[in-house]
Amino acid sequence: MFIPMGFGQQSIVTSLGKIAYYTAEDKLWNTGNTNPETLVFLHALGGGSSAYEWSKVYPAFAADYRILAPDLIGWGRSDHPARNYRVEDYVQTIVEFIKQSCTEPITVIASGLTAAFTVRAAVQHPDLFKSLILVTAAGLNDFEQNYQDNFFAQLIKTPLLDRLFYSAGVATAFGIRSFLEQRQFGKSDRVYPEIVEAYLQSAQQPNAEYAALAFVRGDLSFDLAQFIPQLVTPTALIYGMPTEYTSPELGQRFAKLNPSAIRAFQSVDDTRLTPHLELPAVAIGLIRKFLPLLVVSE
């Protein structure tokens, strides 16, 4: 899988296995700051997801911050235990990763369903978090929606058919490109070969189907609206164009549930689920804008 120039791979061991993560190599990025703040970038879930999703964004912050960009358990170069994944698995391993890799409260920049997991982690352990920047955050069962009613979620519940769906429909170059062009990106011409290859390499890792199918079945879905009111960490929200389960309108509804914590909101036209991969320069600008706005006054 692709690692930006000047970054290397390291790992930590959690209760569910090894998590690989990417961080800047001092020889290139060392600016003399011996104690920089930490930014943790967490990728969304879906066929072939990995930290690559943020790889066009996090290098822009490496001169000023300590960067950590993990592959979540079941994705990328991290371990892929053969298990029935649940929401608690991801909330738990996100917390374990932060506790093992960070000594001060940190800013997490997360997307998709993982952004929703991060809210739950921040509600349970507010002392670990300085601020959150969440992109297209959704629990997929929000405000009485039920992701498990989705045709694909029902289809994947059939034994054997689920593995066939993954191997033939997801973990192929055609399947990856089709999803990126038709559902993940706002404009298909922004999907270039490196992106397809990076997602494909992640999707074809041994046992990669376990986490991916748990996502597609809806095993990892929940109502994020139930947790937003409990959030105390200063938060900014970013959304792309509407899709079936996420939209700027959804983000605005979340913001109204807790205006004291959710301090900023921005929609990004002509993008969908991953504005940061589709228009990384825009995402970099928004993150730079939001970071000082989310500082807690003494």
Two tokens, residue 291 = 């970071």
Whole-number Å distance between alpha carbons of 142 and 270? 23
Per-residue confidence (pLDDT) for residue 125, from 0 to 100: 98
Q: What is the mean pLDDT for each group of 10 consecutive residues in the chain (298 residues)? A: 92 98 80 84 96 98 96 98 97 98 97 98 98 98 85 66 83 95 96 97 96 93 97 98 94 98 97 98 98 82
- The three-state secondary structure class of 274 is coil
Ordered domains of the chain (ranges, CATH)? 7-293 (3.40.50.1820)
Enumerate the β-bridge partners of residue 38.
66
DSSP 216-251: HHTTT-B-GGGTGGG--S-EEEEE-S--SS--HHHH
The predicted-structure confidence for 174-205, as pLDDT tens digits, reads as follows: 999 999 999 999 999 999 999 999 999 999 99
Determine the Cα–Cα distance for residues 96 and 182; give it in Å rounded to an integer.
Answer: 35
List the structure tokens of 290.
């939001």
- How does pLDDT run across 147-161, given as a tens digit for each residue? 877 766 666 766 667
* The pLDDT value given to residue 149: 76
Hey, what's the torsion of the CAs at 265, 181, 89, 145, to 10 degrees? Answer: 60
Residue partners of 205: CB distance under 8 A and separation at least 6: 76, 77, 80
Structure-token pair, residue 258: 């807790």
